[in-house]
Amino acid sequence: MALQAPTGSNAQTWHWIIVTDVEKRQAIARLYARSFARYRASGSRTYADPTRQAVQQRVSSSADYLAEHMGEVPVLVIGAIFTGAEEFEPGSQAGLWGSLLPAAWSLQLALRARGLGSAWTTLHLAYEREIAELLGIPSTVRQGVLLPVAYTVGTDFRAAHRAPLDDVLHINAW
């Protein structure tokens, strides 16, 4: 399903690294946990809206759980993209990631439709080079997302809480 997503110039330069090896998953989990610890130590945002604050507390709790149990997740999927060089032009960022990220989202939707859950995370990127070395990813391929994948506890999926449309929609001007 990920391969059916739109891609800039139809280049299809994405790559998918599926990690099921226990030792490799645990090594990635240790690096992720280090990155997560720094992220958590930076503090959490508080919201005036009590509903939004409650949602964020649940999200934080879920993120804590994932950081503690990442190594137990049966499948880690790393979405990556061929850049053609170790460094790339800043102006190419939107087209580059605009080819990978819709594909990762398509994969997440397909997983959900099949009773599997996933979580979008990029905290592993603080250790992108170490993970690339662990998995043999060439220096001309950059990682963009880490999707831990597992069967869910239930299938009671519902729409996520989002800001009201009037707060984020601008027509013809800001």
- For 61-82, give the secondary structure using H, E and C: HHHHHHHHHHHHCCEEEEEEEE
Percent of the chain with pLDDT over 70: 84
Tokens of 32: 């992720």
What's the pLDDT band for 18 if we cut at 50, 70, 90? very high
Residue with tokens 């604050």: 53
> Rounded distance, CA 103 to CA 2, Å?
4
Instruction: Inform me whether the pLDDT recorded for 166 exceeds 80.
Output: yes
143 neighbors 102 (Cβ within 8 angstroms): no
What homologous superfamily is domain 11-154 in, according to CATH? NADH Oxidase (3.40.109.10)
Instruction: Inform me whether the pLDDT recorded for 4 exceeds 70.
Output: no
Per residue in 25-76, pLDDT (tens digit) is 999 999 999 999 998 888 777 777 787 778 778 878 888 999 999 999 999 9
Domain ranges of the chain: 11-154
pTM of the model: 0.84
